[in-house]
């Protein structure tokens, strides 16, 4: 039997200490698109190149000509409302955005006749420039010492790797344990890093760095992508490889082979406000995934998305580290895995080959699984304030993954064989987990930490939401998150030019507020920006049924007369709110 070490942390919370000590954390606030997503001045419409959204005309040449028209410069390729058919795959260059009118009105439909190709690829490369460490490097250090710096300059990205066969089980994942990081400055043979190291490196592991030539600043916004063909290989709808500072926002992706989004050997990629659902196959061998982070990918942010009917909604493996998976909603997990129940697959998954120091925060999911499919996971993966609604949290034990953090999670299902909290391994930190109504460990109900990557109330939360929504001291199993509320109301994506890029969005967002909440017959609208309030207003009930559609009016208010008491969901432009109506 493996021993589980529980840390009962008796220290003064008034001193500002956090439940998880710094030695077991990394700087998760660095995850996401650091800075503001660029707004490109040049926009070309696919229709200018013969593009036709009639669901019949093949648009391969139209998109290729649109890309070529940008001449290697930045720009947006815009798809108006319609269904655009494609029979070939595309590589998206640096600083090019594919944008639709909305995920409801613009569909990009692909039928590649079973060819083993990703639909969209954002592709960088490794260079021949490399150097070996000359000194050991410690976790949380911000520099490395190497044997030469020829061919390197501040602003370059490097991929740190090591001999990792003692950590990695699968031969296909060898060389994936490490970190992708930007060079801040160079002092002789000392390289100063833009992000601290997330693990230590001993010289006996032969650590080294390779200069990357990454793809940058590619984006996908506000459309529906639909794949029609099954492939035998592991193909994804959008594939990022050796990419940095890219984004996917407001996208609906319908049916995938391997993954809807695969992020490989990449850094600071943002996936936000999307809806990923269904696959062609739910069996073994890499099928039916939502978002995959693998091969050293780090500082990526998967936030405020919806996942539905997938084998594994959010899967991390093969040396991925320093990533944040936050505030997502996943439902209806599904796999073909006899003799297990169809809905017992993990939708938040650590899949082995030494994924380490990743943060899962405030997700509402069905099953958390830390598995041994590909050997051990590394230390300090952190599950903080998540709610597992079905089978709960399960760790495999052959071999177990040691030194994980479990703080403030809710395990809610009281059904037979459900609501499990089954840890294996040693050295885990447990605090304030509510397992079927009982705080585990005992005497750990005082949990002051709100977030391990956000500095304040989330920008994507509507006003007056309770935050944190999950875990003590929030009421047990009662509050939602925006992603779940959107799904309930039928508003599956967040399509807005005000994309939430990271934990520190820009200051110019025209934030709308509704008051009072709870309300009786009238809700008033205010804005702290200078922009004109959006004209379109919708009110829906919890089933998504449209109750009111109106326009912005002089009184800046919404009349709720005639609606019974209950919870309602209001859309004003591209912002969403939850309102409680009382008599």
How confident is residue 11, by pLDDT bands cut at 50, 70 and 90? very low
**What percentage of residues in the chain have a pLDDT greater than 90?**
79
- Tell me the whole-structure pTM to 2 decimals: 0.85
Q: Judge whether 204 lies within some domain.
A: yes
pLDDT of residue 528: 58
d(CA 7, CA 22): 14
Tokens of 535: 């004209």
Q: Judge whether 448 lies within some domain.
A: no
Domain limits for position 569: 511-581
How confident is residue 529, by pLDDT bands cut at 50, 70 and 90? low
Q: Judge whether 237 lies within some domain.
A: no
Q: What is the mean pLDDT of residues 282-302?
A: 97
C-alpha dihedral sign at 490, 496, 498, 499: positive
Q: What is the mean pLDDT of residues 130-143?
A: 99
**DSSP of 132-201, one letter per residue?**
EBSS-B-TT--EEEBS--TT--TT-EEEEE---TTT--SGGGTT--EEEEEEEEEETTEEEESS--SS-B
Q: Judge whether 518 lies within some domain.
A: yes
| Strand-strand pairing, 270-272 and 575-581 | unpaired
pLDDT of residue 389: 99
* Overall number of domains in the chain: 2
pLDDT of 233 higher than 80 = yes
| Interval 177-209: pLDDT, tens | 999 999 999 999 999 999 999 999 999 999 999
Sheet strand arrangement including 43-45 = 43-45, 75-79, 96-100, 219-221, 247-249, 270-272, 301-303, 324-326, 359-361, 382-384, 405-407, 429-431
Q: Is 486 strand, coil or helix? A: helix
Q: Provide CB contacts within 8 A for 553, sequence distance 6+.
A: none
d(CA 506, CA 377): 35
Contact 351, 387 (CB under 8 A): no
Torsion angle of C-alpha atoms 446, 450, 455, 459, degrees rounded to 10 = -150
Q: Judge whether 76 lies within some domain.
A: no
Q: Judge whether 483 lies within some domain.
A: no
pLDDT of 502 higher than 90 = no
Tokens of 408: 């403030």
Which CATH number goes with the domain that contains 551?
Answer: 2.60.40
| Single residue among 185, 211, 237 that ends a domain in this structure | 211
Which CATH number goes with the domain that contains 156?
Answer: 2.40.30
pLDDT of residue 142: 98
| Strand-strand pairing, 82-86 and 54-58 | parallel
| Single residue among 191, 211, 231 that ends a domain in this structure | 211
Q: What is the mean pLDDT of residues 343-355?
A: 97
| Single residue among 164, 196, 211 that ends a domain in this structure | 211
How confident is residue 435, by pLDDT bands cut at 50, 70 and 90? very high
Q: Judge whether 240 lies within some domain.
A: no
Contact 366, 415 (CB under 8 A): no
């Amino acid at each position: 039997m493996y021993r589980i070490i529980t840390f009962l942390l008796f220290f003064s919370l008034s001193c500002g200490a956090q439940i998880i000590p710094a030695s077991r954390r990394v700087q998760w606030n660095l995850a996401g698109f650091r800075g503001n997503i660029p707004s490109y001045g040049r926009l070309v419409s696919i229709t200018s190149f013969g593009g036709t959204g009639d669901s019949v005309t093949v648009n391969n040449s139209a998109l290729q000509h649109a890309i070529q028209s940008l001449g290697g410069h930045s720009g947006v390729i815009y798809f108006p409302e319609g269904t655009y058919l494609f029979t070939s795959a595309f590589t998206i260059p640096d600083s090019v955005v594919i944008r639709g009118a909305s995920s409801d009105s613009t569909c990009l439909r692909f039928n590649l006749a079973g060819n083993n190709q990703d639909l969209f690829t954002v592709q960088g490369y490794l260079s021949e420039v490399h150097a070996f460490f000359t000194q050991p490097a410690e976790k949380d250090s911000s520099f490395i010492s190497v044997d030469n710096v020829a061919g390197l300059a501040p602003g370059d990205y490097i991929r740190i790797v090591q001999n990792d066969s003692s950590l990695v089980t699968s031969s296909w994942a060898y060389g994936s344990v490490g970190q992708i990081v930007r060079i801040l400055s160079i002092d002789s043979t000392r390289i100063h890093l833009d992000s601290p190291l997330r693990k230590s490196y001993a010289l006996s592991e032969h650590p080294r760095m390779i200069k990357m030539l990454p793809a940058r600043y590619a984006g996908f916004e506000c459309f529906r992508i639909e794949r029609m063909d099954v492939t035998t290989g592991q193909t994804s709808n959008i594939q990022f490889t050796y990419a940095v500072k890219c984004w996917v926002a407001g996208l609906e992706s319908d049916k995938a082979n391997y993954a809807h989004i695969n992020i490989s050997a990449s850094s600071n990629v943002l996936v936000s406000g999307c809806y990923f659902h269904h696959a062609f196959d739910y069996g073994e061998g890499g099928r039916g995934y939502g978002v995959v982070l693998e091969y050293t990918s780090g500082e990526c942010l998967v936030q405020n998305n919806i996942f539905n009917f997938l084998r594994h909604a959010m899967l991390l493996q093969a040396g991925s580290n320093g990533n944040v998976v936050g505030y997502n909603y996943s439902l209806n997990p599904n796999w073909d895995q006899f003799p297990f129940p169809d809905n017992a697959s993990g939708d938040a998954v650590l899949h082995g080959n030494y994924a380490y120091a990743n943060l899962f925060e405030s997700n509402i999911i069905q099953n958390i699984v830390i598995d041994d499919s590909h050997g051990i996971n590394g230390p300090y993966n952190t599950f903080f304030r998540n709610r597992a609604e079905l089978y709960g949290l399960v760790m495999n034990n052959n071999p177990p993954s040691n030194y994980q953090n479990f703080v403030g999670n809710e395990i809610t299902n009281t059904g037979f064989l459900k609501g499990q909290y089954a840890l294996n391994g040693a050295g885990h930190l447990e605090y304030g987990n509510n397992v079927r109504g009982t705080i585990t460990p005992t005497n750990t109900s005082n949990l002051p930490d709100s977030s391990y990557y956000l500095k304040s109330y989330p920008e994507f939360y509507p006003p007056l939401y309770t935050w944190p929504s999950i875990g003590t001291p929030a009421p047990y199993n009662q509050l939602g998150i925006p992603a779940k509320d959107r799904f309930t109301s039928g508003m599956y994506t967040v399509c807005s030019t005000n994309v939430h890029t990271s934990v520190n969005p820009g200051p110019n967002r025209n934030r709308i507020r509704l008051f009072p909440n709870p309300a009786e017959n009238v809700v008033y609208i205010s804005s702290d920006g200078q922009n004109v309030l959006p004209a379109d207003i919708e009110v829906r009930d919890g089933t998504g049924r449209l109750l009111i559609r109106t326009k912005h009016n002089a009184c800046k208010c919404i009349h709720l007369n005639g609606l019974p008491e209950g919870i309602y969901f209001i859309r004003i432009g591209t912002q969403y709110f939850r309102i409680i109506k009382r008599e």
